[in-house]
């Protein structure tokens, strides 16, 4: 993979020179906030496959963004990140300062409800009473007195996409559209093994995008990456950002 500092400088140069960088994040971007990932050495699926109990996890609503989230926000604020695609439901990207119009949350967001008809999103704490109506998942039965969408009167459900649920059309179309426009596609903390989300780097590569991967574990796209990091996400992104500032000054 080459010397770490050399890879940091190469990644910074590509991002600094990019016209349309898209970032794609998975569970590995949140591990430094204390949320376990799925396929890491101590991940949820890794431990399950070994017959072990789930890894310890803090209460998600109390978790704060880490340096990786902060670096991504800074790339947004510098105008270098044009769009963010995330597989995470932990709300840490929005909590860190990512603009709602610049993110597609492929699998939903634990803090958001959405209308099944008009797709409008609402803050869960403002519109939903979980004690009365339960989780409100797509497959959950409709409870008596359950509030309809204030916009169109449609059914309000959790924005979380559970196994077997379809990905919302807007998240799917926005993710694919921006991936096809990318000239740099930066992956942070994803195994890139879950479809249809994993189609995004394929679309970017078809557009001749430079693929940069930051992930502790190997991915199916490692051979296609122009720069590959198996190092810590927060440290790596912070290092890249520092080098970008040096190039900009």
* Residues belonging to the active site: 107
Sheet strands (E) in 48-94: 81-86
> Backbone dihedral region of 57: left (phi > 0), alpha (psi from -120 to 50 degrees) or beta?
beta
DSSP annotation of 19: S
Max CA pair span of the chain: 61
Q: What share of the chain is helix, strand, coil (3-state, %, to 5)?
A: 40, 15, 45
The rounded distance, in Å, linking the Cα atoms of 149 and 76 is: 31
> Backbone dihedral region of 206: left (phi > 0), alpha (psi from -120 to 50 degrees) or beta?
alpha
Sheet strands (E) in the chain: 21-25, 81-86, 103-105, 112-115, 121-123, 156-158, 184-188, 210-214, 227-229
First to last CA, the chain: 28
């Amino acid at each position: 993979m080459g010397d770490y500092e050399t890879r940091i400088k190469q990644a910074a140069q590509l991002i600094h020179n990019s016209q349309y960088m898209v970032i794609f994040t998975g569970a590995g971007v949140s591990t430094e906030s204390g949320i376990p990932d799925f396929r890491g050495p101590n991940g949820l699926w890794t431990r399950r496959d070994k017959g072990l109990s789930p890894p310890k996890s803090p209460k998600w609503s109390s978790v704060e963004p880490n340096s990786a989230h902060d670096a991504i926000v800074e790339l947004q604020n510098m105008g270098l990140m044009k769009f963010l695609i995330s597989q995470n439901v932990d709300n840490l990207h929005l909590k860190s300062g990512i603009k709602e119009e610049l993110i597609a949350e492929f699998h939903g967001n634990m803090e958001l409800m959405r209308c099944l008809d008009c797709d409008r999103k609402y803050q869960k704490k403002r519109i939903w009473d979980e004690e009365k109506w339960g989780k409100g998942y797509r497959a959950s039965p409709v409870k008596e007195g359950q509030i309809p969408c204030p916009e169109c009167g449609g059914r309000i459900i959790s924005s979380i996409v559970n196994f077997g649920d379809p990905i919302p059309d807007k998240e799917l179309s926005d993710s694919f559209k921006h991936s096809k426009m990318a000239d740099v596609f930066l992956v942070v903390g994803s195994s890139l093994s879950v479809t249809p989300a994993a189609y995004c780097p394929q679309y970017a590569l078809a557009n001749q995008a430079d693929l940069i991967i930051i992930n502790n574990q190997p991915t199916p796209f490692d051979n296609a990456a122009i720069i590959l990091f198996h190092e810590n996400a927060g440290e790596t992104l912070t290092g890249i950002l520092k080098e970008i500032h040096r190039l900009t000054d």
